[in-house]
Structure 1
Amino acid sequence: MNRTMITATNTLNQLQKQLDIIGHNLANVDTNGYKRRESNFTELLVQQMNNQLNPARDLPRLTPRGIRMGVGAKLAQSQMVTTQGSLQETNRPLDFALTNENQFFKVLVQENGEGQIRYTRDGGFYVTPVNDREVMLVNAQGFPLLDEQNQFITFSSQSKEIQLQSGGVLDTGDGQFINLGIVMVDHPQYLEQKGGNLLGMPNNPPIPETEILRELTGIERQEISLQQGSLEKSNVDVAKEMTDMMNVQRSYQFQSRSITLADQMLGLVNGLR
């Protein structure tokens, strides 16, 4: 296989990954609180061929001397874009929209028999009965929402109207005030997608967890920005994603055509007599 085929094959594999990312964005265009991902490419290793026997005699030039032969490109990073999505008014008392880009709710999920804290921007919550007297606040998948002490949020089943106060405080209407568990994510790129529109910490974070996110407690709760009766939509721009998809498809066709041409050239060489 010649270098042209190697370069095209390497790039085709990475373009397929970019198509997967774009397809995932488009599939979640109507997912509340979803943050789109953007891919960045970088060049693979190149080979420098110095074809000038006497560089001193080379004419003045603006480009580097010699020939640089690459072997394709690779997907360097899939970066989460945390820009604020549009707000949709629902007038539902258990719908909450975070209006600060880097703030997330905390929910508890069960994985392999252990409880794991996950983070989400989807503020569409519901109540599920705990017993005859209490109900618990959960998300759309039934995972319990956590307060600032990482405890389940429960209140009386007789509560008629829930009001949101400043600082992310829920007034259940029966004299109970609950501080919603909100975190500020300073480095969202370190979070991993865990499925179900949830994010989580990696198994081996490259930096301490306290540098990635911090709990908003005490006086820091003044930073919390919430809007009741609204939901944050995804920040996916369909027009941009479709344009990116067409550009990737063109690049994919170009690399495929390169392999075809290289194969035809090899066929001509092998057919020489």
Structure 2
Amino acid sequence: MNRTMITATNTLGQLQKQIDVISNNIANVDITGFKRREATFTDLLVQQFDNLPGGDPDTAAARLTPEGIRQGTGAKLGQIQMIMTQGTFKSTERPLDTAFTKEGLFYRIQVQRGDVYETQYTRDGAFYLSPLSENEMTLVTSSGHPILDENNEPVVIAGKAKDYTITETGTLKVNMEDGSQQNVNLGVSLVNNPQFLEQKGGNRLGLPAGVEADGVLTDLNGELRSQISIRSGTLELSNVDLSKEMTDLMTAQRSYQFQARSINMADQMMGLINGIR
């Protein structure tokens, strides 16, 4: 197989991954709190041919590129980066709907995988109440995963609630029918390095196996809760720009067609060479 085919086939596989990223963004355009991802490319191994030996030292010193011919072997995805820009807001006037008004803030939720409970993160602020017993309810996501408080325990409301309020700093205030009030600080984390997080499905993010939370996330407890900014009765829409994603998809498809055409042309050239008698 000649170098043209090698370069094209290497790039084809990476372009397919970029198309998958764009397709995932488009599929989640209407998902609350979803953050789009963007794929960036870098060169694979580059081979240099020094075909200009003994060049003028003065001329070589003024060059901005290495002397000779550099031949690459294709492109690869350098990074699939999560874009943390703020999405637009949608007013619902529902007291248990919330939206972060700052970038990098995530709710902590509890996800059960078999017998193991795992802490994951989401920007989806559409909360619901799920009954635990006759006089107890727990705060959950739309998928039924419990919301954690600042101590990483599921939020449980004991007694019969009358109404609810979620403050700007993430405190759930529940007015009970007997006139009392229960206050619970919701678990909120600030993501310092979002590129360490991986998608867990269901609009949830989590840490990969073997990666510690220190340096990646900061739990906003105690005095740090002043950094929290929440708007109640509102949901944050995804930050996916459908027109941009469609443009990127068309560009990636054209690049894919170009690489496929390169393989076809290389095959035709090899056929002509093999046909010479």
Give the C-alpha shift of residue 53 in structure 1. 4.2
CA distance in 1, matches of 2:151, 2:80: 33
Residue 193 (structure 1) aligns with: 199
* Secondary structure at 1:155 match in 2: strand
Q: Is the 8 A contact 2:162 2:175 kept in 1?
A: yes
* Secondary structure at 2:162 match in 1: coil
* Secondary structure at 1:160 match in 2: strand
Are 2:264 and 1:260 equivalent residues in the alignment? yes
Written as runs of structure 1 = structure 2, the 5 A alignment for 1:1-273 is 1-56=1-56, 62=63, 63-156=65-158, 158-174=160-176, 175-205=181-211, 208-273=212-277
CA distance in 2, matches of 1:156, 1:209: 31
| TM superposition score normalised by structure 2 | 0.94
Paired letter, 2:243: A
CA distance in 2, matches of 1:64, 1:189: 33
CA distance in 1, matches of 2:270, 2:133: 75
Paired letter, 1:190: F
Q: Is the 8 A contact 1:137 1:144 kept in 2?
A: yes
User: Measured at CA, do residues 244 and 166 of structure 1 come closer, stay the same or move farther in structure 2, by a change above 3 Å?
Assistant: closer
Give the C-alpha shift of residue 188 in structure 1. 1.1
| TM superposition score normalised by structure 1 | 0.95
Give the C-alpha shift of residue 192 in structure 1. 1.0
Give the C-alpha shift of residue 99 in structure 1. 1.0
User: Measured at CA, do residues 58 and 184 of structure 1 come closer, stay the same or move farther in structure 2, by a change above 3 Å?
Assistant: closer
* Secondary structure at 2:214 match in 1: helix
**Which sections of structure 2, spanning at least 5 residues, go unmatched?**
none
CA distance in 2, matches of 1:73, 1:51: 24
Moved over 4 A (4+): 57-63
Give the C-alpha shift of residue 85 in structure 1. 0.5
RMSD: 1.6
* Secondary structure at 1:9 match in 2: helix
Give the C-alpha shift of residue 59 in structure 1. 7.3
Q: Is the 8 A contact 1:83 1:235 kept in 2?
A: yes
Paired letter, 2:16: Q
User: Measured at CA, do residues 57 and 189 of structure 1 come closer, stay the same or move farther in structure 2, by a change above 3 Å?
Assistant: closer
Give the C-alpha shift of residue 55 in structure 1. 2.3
> What's the % identity of the aligned pairs?
52
Q: Deviations over 1:16-73 (max 9, x none)?
A: 0000000000000000000000001000011111122432499778453211111000
CA distance in 1, matches of 2:114, 2:163: 37
Q: Is the 8 A contact 2:96 2:165 kept in 1?
A: no
* Secondary structure at 1:104 match in 2: strand
Q: Is the 8 A contact 1:52 1:58 kept in 2?
A: no
Q: Deviations over 1:50-107 (max 9, x none)?
A: 1224324997784532111110000111000011100100111110111111110011
Work out the number of aligned pairs and report it: 271
Paired letter, 2:89: L
Paired letter, 2:10: N
Give the C-alpha shift of residue 272 in structure 1. 1.1
CA distance in 1, matches of 2:158, 2:57: 88
Q: Is the 8 A contact 1:166 1:222 kept in 2?
A: no
CA distance in 1, matches of 2:151, 2:57: 74
Q: Is the 8 A contact 1:168 1:179 kept in 2?
A: yes
